[in-house]
Structure 1
Amino acid sequence: MTLLDIRLLNVYEYHRMVEAGILDGDERVELLAGQIVNKATKTPPRCAVVKRTMELLQKSLGSLVFLSIHDSVRLNNYSQPEPDISVVIPDRLYYEDHHPTPLEIYLIIEVADTTLRTDCGIKAKIYAESGITDYWVLDVNNRQLHVFREPSQHGYQSRLMLGDDASISPLQFPDVSFEVRDMLRPLITT
């Protein structure tokens, strides 16, 4: 089978599959580049990092943003991922009538314990093509933060890798800063 033999699904068809019961609404899948993709298992370390990071963002940004865990964002007609964390513009209706779109997204964060290659590869490409200006991948195993900025149709033009001793500020909130280590599992010293 060649790439030309694949029929891509659009977001509308993806939603119809859920409405028709073809896909269970609780099924751990997401639509990426027109294809239904299984999501990674939520391991305890991954869940803990998501919760730690959410707490830091909540304390730092408060009511300036809406924070979402594993909620869909609609990037384009063929991609509706469910990032680990989305930092979005507040919406009076709490996005009841649509999923956040790139113009409403400040920051996307993916947490990688088994998904680093996917998060830094295909997902980074899709987020860049969609114009997500600030995309972070927290590498749980190597205690690093991959920061992707300056999106283009060819991927991100800027990619930084920060160690756990570095600090970071979201692009849209340069006065807010926190340590990478504070998002990760605390190091236990003896």
Structure 2
Amino acid sequence: MSLANSSTNLHPGDDAFAVPEVRAQIHRMSIDTYHRLGEQGMIDERTELIRGVVIDKMSKSPLHVWIATQLADLLRDVVGPNFYLRAEQPLTLCDSEPEPDIAIVPGSPNDYRARHPIQANLVVEVALSSEKLDREKAYLYAEAGFPEYWLILPNTRTVELHQDPKAGVYKTVVSLGADQTLTTQAAPELTLRVADLFPPDA
């Protein structure tokens, strides 16, 4: 039986974590176990490991894909020679293995033939219907020491810029509107108007 189809799987936005009795019954899974069960076909590929719990990933709308693809194309053209861009690929953290829409990681693809990256200079999530989970991921990324996290919010045409991770939280969080500009140390040549992340009719 596939664990991804079992009744114990949690879905983004579920309130199960908020119920103490439910939390007490959740059996946390190590990253090694998650990998092993995945290799055996017991966990669906459309999942992430978050805090040791297997979570079903939401399907992506055309708008979600459009925004992520547009931004990935822009970043890929300006990312530095000692970094490369990964799209919807795992990052291995302490007890989690999220798959952000975009991550700029050090090195080259050859560095990750036997393992997933544990570091990233920039991570990006597009939050159309997954805002609650993507906000929780800010804590994961801050704990990992990732210097910058972008949370793209198409429903309000804004981007939340999370920076300066300390003690598991980002100390600086700024909301940028459509008429403001995004820059990142991960790709210093990039200057991007927030409005350009969204189609005119979004």
Pairwise same-fold verdict (TM > 0.5) = yes
Give the distance between the partners of 2:129 and 2:158, measured in 1 at CA: 14
- Which residue is 1:9 aligned to? 29
- Which residue is 1:97 aligned to? 114
Deviation at 1:147, TM superposition (A): 0.7
Match for residue 42 of structure 2 among 7, 22, 27: 22
CA contact (8 A) 1:52 1:182 kept: no
Deviation at 1:2, TM superposition (A): 5.1
- Which residue is 1:107 aligned to? 122
- Which residue is 1:166 aligned to? 180
**SS in structure 2 at match of 1:9:** coil
Give the distance between the partners of 2:148 and 2:37, measured in 1 at CA: 31
Q: Deviations 1:85-144 (Å, cap 9, x if unpaired)?
A: 111113261511111112xx1100000111122212x11111111111100011111100
Q: Deviations 1:38-71 (Å, cap 9, x if unpaired)?
A: 1121100000001110111122326453111110
> Normalized against structure 1, the TM-score is what?
0.87
Query: Do residues 142 (structure 1) and 159 (structure 2) align?
Result: no
CA contact (8 A) 1:56 1:183 kept: no
What's the RMSD between the two structures over aligned residues? Answer: 1.9
Match for residue 124 of structure 1 among 115, 121, 138: 138
> Normalized against structure 2, the TM-score is what?
0.82
- Which residue is 1:72 aligned to? 90
Match for residue 83 of structure 1 among 65, 88, 100: 100
Match for residue 192 of structure 2 among 168, 178, 181: 178
- Which residue is 1:31 aligned to? 49
Q: Deviations 1:139-160 (Å, cap 9, x if unpaired)?
A: 1111000111111234211101
Give the distance between the partners of 1:34 and 1:141, measured in 2 at CA: 30
Q: Which runs of 4+ in 1 moved over 6 A?
A: none
Give the distance between the partners of 1:62 and 1:45, measured in 2 at CA: 28
**SS in structure 2 at match of 1:118:** helix
CA contact (8 A) 1:148 1:158 kept: yes
Percent identity for Structure 1 against Structure 2: 30
**SS in structure 2 at match of 1:97:** coil
- Which residue is 1:57 aligned to? 75
Query: Structure 2: any 5+ residue segments left out of the alignment?
Result: 1-20
Q: Deviations 1:146-187 (Å, cap 9, x if unpaired)?
A: 111111234211101001111111134445322112222235
Give the distance between the partners of 2:66 and 2:186, measured in 1 at CA: 25
Give the distance between the partners of 1:18 and 1:87, measured in 2 at CA: 25
Match for residue 66 of structure 2 among 36, 44, 48: 48
CA contact (8 A) 2:140 2:168 kept: no
Give the distance between the partners of 1:63 and 1:141, measured in 2 at CA: 34
Letter in 2 for 1:113: L
Query: Structure 1: any 5+ residue segments left out of the alignment?
Result: none
